[in-house]
Structure 1
Amino acid sequence: MMTSKKARMAILPLVMLLLLSFSSAHKYYVSVTNIAYSEDDKAFQVTSRVFIDDLDRLLKERYGIEAKLATPKESELADEYIEKYFRAKFAVELDGKRVQFNFLGKRYDTDVVICYLEIPNVKLSETKSMSVQNEVLMDLFDDQQNVVHVKWDGNKKSFMLIRQNNKGMLNL
């Protein structure tokens, strides 16, 4: 009886170690993009929320710049490269035609950078469909997920984009 108790006491630390090694914290790679139609501005207004550290790492690996986002030493080139990256990895089509967007800037909120984009001069009543391709950070993280919410004329549609399925389509 005593030996089985000793054996359990010896095995317990090993079992705990195994359980803890499988339950270690895993970082999730997620961005959230909101696209809302503004009747007053006749434009789709886009906000894209990305973790600062992920975007900072991407700018370093892809463009070789030390952006130092959200610090007093932030690179003067940060906005230029963020815009360049969004133009390469984020696209919207209305009725099958790619539309241009304006990069309006960014701001920080705790550990997130919020990028502001606008698709101007949209006549919603004449627009039948929209597709959104969002590959932001997918070239850096295999398990990146980009959630997209679209709101227009009292309607709302959401989709989750991943590397293998990076485009969402909807009828307006």
Structure 2
Amino acid sequence: MHLLNTKFVTIFLVFALSGIINGKKHPLHVSTTEVNFNAKDKTLEISARIFTDDFESILVKLYKQKTDLSNPALKQKMDELIKKYLTTHLQLKANGKSVALNYIGFEIDHEATNIYLEVEKIPTIKSVEVNDTILYDMFDDQMSIVHIVKASTRKSTKILYPDKTFTANF
């Protein structure tokens, strides 16, 4: 079943991105968040992938500042805005307890922005709860694809606005 879900998500994202490549606005409002438990380093490694045009639009709307994620001269300012946005729109609980997300950085990858975060000092993981409201303050048709990975076990779901929470138990 997992392989089928992964194929569906991949095909779904290819069609969404093809609209951008052909010069059209993408018809879907989707972001992807992946949480990986790194047992060796005792950390949760989090990555979020958001369409850059949508992400820049919400940053401008909320923070009323010039926003250009691809401009190296604005990198430090963009880091501040992204950190502020992500820490208020993405929260995690590990083993039932809220954890602090450490912002690592971001990079532009074609039409998407990849954002990296980390949670330290997680000796073991029995459950992970993701509360994801990325772009909810922009689109009422937002979909969040969430993957939570521990060793070879991967649990995935899609969260449709206005829902916002997914819990994986291991």
Query: Could you state the TM-score of these two structures normalised by the residue count of structure 1?
Result: 0.80
- Unaligned stretches of 5+ in structure 2? 1-23
Q: What is the CA-CA distance between 1:25 and the residue it aligns to? A: 7.3
**Counterpart amino acid of residue 169 in structure 1:** T
Q: What is the CA-CA distance between 1:123 and the residue it aligns to? A: 1.2
**Counterpart amino acid of residue 154 in structure 1:** S
- Unaligned stretches of 5+ in structure 1? 1-23
Match of 1:138 among 117, 136, 139: 136
Task: Classify the secondary structure of the residue corresponding to 1:77.
Answer: helix
Q: What is the CA-CA distance between 1:93 and the residue it aligns to? A: 0.6
* CA separation of 1:76 and 1:104: change in aligned 2, threshold 3 A: closer
Task: Classify the secondary structure of the residue corresponding to 1:137.
Answer: coil
Distance in 2 (alpha carbons) for counterparts of 1:54 and 1:66: 14
Residue of structure 1 equivalent to 2:114: 114
Task: Classify the secondary structure of the residue corresponding to 2:83.
Answer: helix
Distance in 1 (alpha carbons) for counterparts of 2:26 and 2:70: 24
**Counterpart amino acid of residue 93 in structure 2:** E
Distance in 2 (alpha carbons) for counterparts of 1:95 and 1:122: 9
CA distances 1:95-119 after superposition (whole Å, capped 9, x unpaired)? 2211011100011111111000011
Residue of structure 2 equivalent to 1:57: 57
CA distances 1:61-98 after superposition (whole Å, capped 9, x unpaired)? 01101111113553641110110111111000122211
Task: Classify the secondary structure of the residue corresponding to 1:40.
Answer: coil
Residue of structure 2 equivalent to 1:91: 91
CA distances 1:13-40 after superposition (whole Å, capped 9, x unpaired)? xxxxxxxxxxx97621111111111122
* CA separation of 1:104 and 1:26: change in aligned 2, threshold 3 A: closer
Distance in 2 (alpha carbons) for counterparts of 1:162 and 1:152: 24
Preserved contact between residue 60 and residue 66 of structure 2 (Cα < 8 Å):
yes
Distance in 1 (alpha carbons) for counterparts of 2:75 and 2:65: 8
Preserved contact between residue 66 and residue 75 of structure 1 (Cα < 8 Å):
no
* CA separation of 1:144 and 1:115: change in aligned 2, threshold 3 A: same
Task: Classify the secondary structure of the residue corresponding to 2:167.
Answer: strand
Distance in 2 (alpha carbons) for counterparts of 1:151 and 1:49: 16
Preserved contact between residue 67 and residue 75 of structure 1 (Cα < 8 Å):
no
**Counterpart amino acid of residue 62 in structure 1:** L
Task: Classify the secondary structure of the residue corresponding to 1:60.
Answer: helix
How many residue pairs get aligned? The number is 147
For the aligned residue pairs, the C-alpha RMSD in angstroms reads 1.7
**Counterpart amino acid of residue 109 in structure 2:** D
